[in-house]
Structure 1
């Protein structure tokens, strides 16, 4: 299938004054059956999008939050600092595990605090958010190129969750490696975990693989062991939400299972992430704050209740 274009997030500048700037993002909860782009300049709407996983993936969360923080003071003429701080606090509460979120917010805050004339803050913050976005795009390209060294021959790759354009500001982290390797004749086939319970692999990675023209098969998370036993997997590549200084990594639930399985079957396992995912404030994974999602994400399949809400989950 011929690759076709899509984007996860885009700042649309409608005039030279910035008064009508809008952020457009792809609602990932509707994929792959519906491509619904949402346009807004409301930072609280973007915060809700991050919480509801309409926008997700550690790098993309940080980029989205940076744009949202800039937009929070667009056209604001008074109490600019107070409104900025309120938006900062709201956005910081959205996804605690994604360190990229806090790095982006802190970079935006540092820029804001350095501005003497706050009435010009929006344009400066907008430029900083665009810089953060472009920087991640370049990181993804570098990760993709560096990842080519992982391939000794044309290989079958297994991946988990979603780490492509839908999760980053560029071609992706783990997905970026897979895409770059495929374009260089080094990927034969991709096995993508469904990624319970919200099925980011089944819905999002399948969408990106198809759009990129890469041969793939979806499978249940628990099928990974059987695929490895049959010798169908040459290497595993995943992304990360946060990495400690000792290399401990937190990622979507199910990643740890894959690492253990890969180790047992002597299959190389790699984490692909930009430097912004490294939390230099923590020494090990024991210090990583883990986000626990609402149990309804397990009790419901889409909008359909599939078991009793009285059950603990």
Structure 2
């Protein structure tokens, strides 16, 4: 495939949602993000001209969701190389921006590895030609350019692969739903946001719900609003409305009454990290849904790419869970002002000085997970051996 064809394939946004794209204006390359903190009030763009601005965008949730964080991390390395920053320093800052999401560090390391391999290769070629002193500066520039091009190519490749993985996850998940819930007319409950906003394609769990909708098999999508930053209310509902899906928003603590009334056929969630034993770290509030699902004999499905499985994390207790600022709980911020801004930016809903427990994620043990759906197939029952075999195949 020619480079311009690959670029067009990557930059075409899924469902018209321009979540992330690389641009090269005359003043230098930039990474353009759809600012998710401002949705649904406005579709504003956030332009990153350097690695620190991208780190800030990741930390403040301008861009969020495990798969797209991997893509952003890879593009961040390419941005550092193209703009003349210290690539390794930028890579470390990017990888540490959100510690729970394993895809972020993996995307960073992939582009960083491509950069260094190209750097070494180009330097070796240059040395073998034996340039004189007058040409040495030009040769150094050529070596740096070759390495920057390689980092960008790695980021673009990851972007394409994630889009393809999204479609394959949806196909595998749709087949599984057909086995678990024959007859269609599914009433599916989801938590947080797992659509095109978190992916190079249509997403993870939301992509499966969207596939059911496209086949006429979705009766209702129940959308948890997802406290405290309302990713379900602000983002998933926004995507569902754009897709013309039948959806209903509910407060997180109303889910139990839906299960009790028999109104949920299956739960679909994504993942930010899956440990080697099958423990799943996902947006806080996921674990209670898994407990409810088990009690009410409802399938609980985790939809995530293989890159989210981390064999180096042995179990759920080993997953580092990000703790976020108290003001996200003690204040309510208007989406138009940025939903994850700094303290004092919103209306206080708790007495001044109130302490808040605000983990970004919780961990669901494998015994509560009916199946993990990946682009390489379905793992059920969820065991360390089955995950290891899946990772070995992929």
TM-score for the superposition, normalised by structure 2: 0.75
1:46 paired with 2:54, answer yes
Match of 1:156, SS? strand
- Runs of 4+ that moved beyond 4 A: none
Measure the CA separation in 1 of the matches of 2:166 and 2:24: 24
Measure the CA separation in 2 of the matches of 1:6 and 1:94: 24
Measure the CA separation in 1 of the matches of 2:210 and 2:264: 17
Residue of structure 2 aligned with 1:91, choices 90, 94, 104: 94
Q: Which residue of 2 aligns with 1:6?
A: 17
CA deviation map 1:57-116 (0-9, x unaligned): 01111111110111012142xxx6xx0111011112210000001111111222122122
Residue of structure 1 aligned with 2:196, choices 162, 165, 176: 165
Match of 2:100, SS? coil
Q: What is the aligned residue count?
A: 303
Deviation at 1:21, TM superposition (A): 2.3
Residue of structure 2 aligned with 1:267, choices 295, 298, 302: 298
Deviation at 1:4, TM superposition (A): 6.6
Measure the CA separation in 2 of the matches of 1:35 and 1:105: 27
Does the 8 Å CA contact 1:41/1:68 hold for their aligned counterparts? no
Deviation at 1:5, TM superposition (A): 2.3
CA deviation map 1:229-279 (0-9, x unaligned): 111111100000000112110000000000000111111110000001000
Q: Which residue of 2 aligns with 1:243?
A: 274
Which residues in structure 2 correspond to 1:143-154 (within 5 Å)? 143-149=169-175, 150-151=177-178, 152=182, 153-154=184-185
Does the 8 Å CA contact 2:273/2:282 hold for their aligned counterparts? yes
Which residues in structure 2 correspond to 1:209-224 (within 5 Å)? 209-224=240-255
Mind listing any 5+ residue stretches in structure 2 that lack a counterpart? 1-13, 123-142, 334-345, 357-394
Which residues in structure 2 correspond to 1:1-313 (within 5 Å)? 5-14=16-25, 20-76=28-84, 83-115=86-118, 116=120, 117=122, 118-119=143-144, 120-149=146-175, 150-151=177-178, 152=182, 153-302=184-333, 303-313=346-356
Alpha-carbon RMSD across the aligned residues, in angstroms, is: 1.5
Which structure has the larger Rg over C-alpha atoms?
Answer: 2
Higher helix share: 2
Measure the CA separation in 2 of the matches of 1:159 and 1:298: 21
Measure the CA separation in 1 of the matches of 2:170 and 2:216: 14
Measure the CA separation in 1 of the matches of 2:354 and 2:48: 38
Does the 8 Å CA contact 2:81/2:151 hold for their aligned counterparts? no
CA deviation map 1:111-167 (0-9, x unaligned): 122122341211111111000111111110100111112132221100000000111
Farther-moved stretch of structure 1 (255-264 vs 89-98): 89-98
TM-score for the superposition, normalised by structure 1: 0.93
Does the 8 Å CA contact 1:23/1:40 hold for their aligned counterparts? yes
Per the alignment, do residues 244 and 214 of structure 1 end up closer, same or farther by CA in structure 2, a change over 3 Å counting? Answer: same
Does the 8 Å CA contact 2:281/2:319 hold for their aligned counterparts? yes
